[in-house]
Structure 1
Amino acid sequence: MRAGHRARLAERASEPAVPRSTRLRDLWRGTGADLPGGDPLPSHRAPMEGYLWRFTDPGRGRVLLVACGVNHPPGPPWATVVVAAHPSGLIRSASVDGAWDDTAAYRISALPALALDGKRLRVRIGDDVDIRCALRPEHTWPPRRLLPGTSVFSAVPGLNHYWHPHLFGARVEGVARLADEVWDLSGSQVYAEKSWGRGFPPAWWWGQAHGFDREDLCVAFAGGSLGRGGLTLRVNGLVVRAGDETIGLFPPAALVRATVRDGTWHLAGRSARHRVELTGTAPGGRAYYLPVPRLERHRFGSSVQHLAGRLHVTVRQDGRLRYAGESALASLETGGLAAG
């Protein structure tokens, strides 16, 4: 026993020391918050870490959505991987024990279902889904900002949910085998985001769209009950990427209001220079019921999502109309109480 104890002590002594600054950073990020100038993409090891990618092929009228949630409960972490495709209606999911996401880099291992190493994504679910692609980001959330993520809320510890859209366009090479179909993903318009916190809010709404008449236009929005302890507020945010500019409207710097009911998503946001209005509808569109992981191991709720809804967008800058158009390949989602 003494010899074994000495061996363990020697092994620990040989491990490289973790700098104090790194330990403090990890402790702070463990609250859900990021330091000024920090990178939200590596794992915070929050109870829930969510990753999402969406591929839109306007020419073929196709949409592919990939989502991965890594849960960090007491005990070993576990993951949920979900794939949904339009117009085929395919939905596949897998629940995996022993998942891992890196606190220092944008990497995930949820084998055998999903692996992400920076710019390479691999998804495999049973015999029906095999996705292999490489992404070269071209349009990302503006770097070198004082505030991490999308707003001041990213620096507030202990909130129940954080949201960070970070990729609005990329060159993609790869293929997706989806049941009996094989999709060439090259040329697809790509979007990616990350979320984390203590789990999904009690109610939420979300949307994202490429597929406008401008290839360089990308829209994303999210809203729900955000808070800490017994204090919760309905908070909304939206992002429009137009050309080389990223317009992010988030409180408290901007006012964003949302009305989501009866199959309609309406958001209106304004800041000192910008006015953005979004109206999403899913008239007769197919609803996808996607599994949503709860914090309890291998237990799930669900969200209701339309992968090919319509989203009309109006953007004004300094009082002048900058863009007005519509996509017919928008994801529009409600979850929790909002999905009832």
Structure 2
Amino acid sequence: MLRHWWRRTGADLPWGDPLPSHRSPMEGYLWRFTDTARSRVLLVACGVNHRPGRPWGTVVVAASPLSLVRSTTLDGARADSDRFAVHATPALTFAQNRLRVSLADVDLEVSVLPPARRRTVLPAASVFSLVPGLNHYWHPYLFDGRVEGAARLGDEHWDLTGCQVYAEKSWGRGFPPAWWWGQAHGFDRPDVRVAFAGGLLGRGRATVPVGGLVLGLGDRRIELFPPAAIVRGSARADRWWLTAAGPRYRVRLTGEGAGGPPLRLPIPTLIPHHLGFSEQHLAGEIRLEIDRAGRPLYAGTSRLAGLETGPAPRSP
């Protein structure tokens, strides 16, 4: 079918749904739970690799302030192409908005109930979602879900009911040669949330630095990506910064690590069961400023921000 062939290039059609599997060489799924009242953050990530031979997967769980990181790789992982479901059994399953994780000393079971999904012409990454053959695509799709459930993390039991949840999907031929990423709830207003990313996007000599940002402010969802917006950003020496200017909105964002060393989170290479690593602060600080039509609209700080950098993992 033409639609399935087109999606295997990484691209989506207008009005398409990017959440079912594209059958790309690498697909990634991430859920991030922020408990503002207890100053706790829990991250769950799953990678599914489709290569010649048997598919395989990676499951990662990380938690702050525990500085806990647990991971595993396994054969036979898959993601459905006709619905949004991920299977990396016995370590992780996600289907019908229910997420289950089981690792050596980690168990999690939650319902992630998003609000009614709105249909848009383009997924979150704007026109880049329509371009075939890019090395990496990014789709932050959930900011406002409702969570019910709990987790066992080593000797601790966390009630996750009522946490704010963020979720995203990424896919493509592999990780960018270099990238930076951030996400935060936990501002002074619970209806403020942000996710941003940047890296080297493209193919061969056509690879260029590209960044983008999605934020929520009350009922507004603001998406700033080229070419509709001018986006500049980088991460150096434990500092992140981004400016994004569109026709109506201008956003300034600065981030800073948590003071201690970042956690090393496993990320898959394209060779089965070989991993690289990114570096992430699970509870860093983000300062966010938003202007609308040249006038200040919001300014605030979160100290429960995820802030990450990474090079592409090298295959042995």
The TM-score with structure 2 as length reference comes to 0.97
Residues 189-200 of structure 1 mapped to structure 2, 5 A cutoff: 189-200=164-175
2:36 pairs, out of 48, 58, 61, with 58
Contact preservation (8 Å) 1:39, 1:149:
no
Q: Report the CA distance between 1:135 and its aligned residue.
A: 1.2
Residue in 1 that maps onto 2:113: 136
The 1:312–1:173 alpha-carbon spacing in structure 2 relative to 1, beyond 3 Å, is same
Q: Which has the higher helix share?
A: 1
The TM-score with structure 1 as length reference comes to 0.90
Residues 102-181 of structure 1 mapped to structure 2, 5 A cutoff: 102-126=80-104, 128-138=105-115, 143-181=118-156
Where 2:5 maps in the other structure, the secondary structure is helix
Contact preservation (8 Å) 2:174, 2:269:
yes
Q: Report the CA distance between 1:65 and its aligned residue.
A: 0.2
The 1:50–1:129 alpha-carbon spacing in structure 2 relative to 1, beyond 3 Å, is same
- 1:261 is aligned with what amino acid? R
Partners of 2:191 and 2:116 lie apart in 1 by 9
Residue in 1 that maps onto 2:271: 296
Q: Report the CA distance between 1:228 and its aligned residue.
A: 2.2
2:245 pairs, out of 249, 253, 270, with 270
Contact preservation (8 Å) 1:35, 1:148:
no
Contact preservation (8 Å) 1:64, 1:85:
yes
Instruction: Tell me whether 1:73 sits opposite 2:73 in the alignment.
Output: no
Partners of 1:323 and 1:148 lie apart in 2 by 25
Contact preservation (8 Å) 1:139, 1:244:
no
Contact preservation (8 Å) 2:124, 2:223:
no
1:95 pairs, out of 73, 77, 80, with 73
Residue in 1 that maps onto 2:16: 38
- Which whole-Å deviations, capped at 9, do the CAs of 1:126-155 have from their partners, x for residues lacking one? 2x1100000111386xx3222234210000
Identity of aligned residues (%): 61
Partners of 1:166 and 1:104 lie apart in 2 by 18
- Which whole-Å deviations, capped at 9, do the CAs of 1:33-83 have from their partners, x for residues lacking one? 001100000000000000000000011010000000000011111000000
- 1:234 is aligned with what amino acid? P
- 1:299 is aligned with what amino acid? H
Residue in 2 that maps onto 1:313: 288
Partners of 1:281 and 1:35 lie apart in 2 by 37
Q: Report the CA distance between 1:256 and its aligned residue.
A: 0.5
The 1:301–1:327 alpha-carbon spacing in structure 2 relative to 1, beyond 3 Å, is same
CA RMSD of aligned residues (A): 1.2
Q: Report the CA distance between 1:283 and its aligned residue.
A: 4.8
Contact preservation (8 Å) 1:139, 1:170:
no
Partners of 1:42 and 1:73 lie apart in 2 by 18
Q: Report the CA distance between 1:259 and its aligned residue.
A: 2.6
- 1:119 is aligned with what amino acid? N
- Which whole-Å deviations, capped at 9, do the CAs of 1:106-140 have from their partners, x for residues lacking one? 101100000000310000112x1100000111386
Contact preservation (8 Å) 1:302, 1:335:
yes
Partners of 2:251 and 2:120 lie apart in 1 by 22
Where 2:148 maps in the other structure, the secondary structure is strand
Partners of 2:204 and 2:312 lie apart in 1 by 19
Contact preservation (8 Å) 2:24, 2:171:
yes
Residue in 2 that maps onto 1:27: 5
- 2:106 is aligned with what amino acid? V
Partners of 1:208 and 1:238 lie apart in 2 by 10
**Number of matched residues?**
313
- 1:137 is aligned with what amino acid? P
Instruction: Tell me whether 1:218 sits opposite 2:193 in the alignment.
Output: yes
- Which whole-Å deviations, capped at 9, do the CAs of 1:193-235 have from their partners, x for residues lacking one? 0000001011000000000000011110000000023310000
